[in-house]
Structure 1
Amino acid sequence: MPDWRGTFNIPAEKCYRAILNYIRAGSIKKKDKVVRSLEPSLIEVKTGIKDGLRIGIIPDGNKSTVLMDFDFSLEMVIELKSSHPLHQ
Structure 2
Amino acid sequence: MGRLRRKLKKTLIETSETGLSLELRLIGQFIIFLVTIMLCISLILVATGVFKAGMKQNIALFEKELSHLSQDIYDDFGNLSLSSVSLA
Shorter chain as denominator, the TM-score bin is under 0.3
TM-score by length of 1: 0.21
User: Which structure's CA Rg is the greater one?
Assistant: 2
Greater strand share, structure number: 1
- Higher helix residue share: 2
Q: TM-score, normalised by structure 2?
A: 0.21
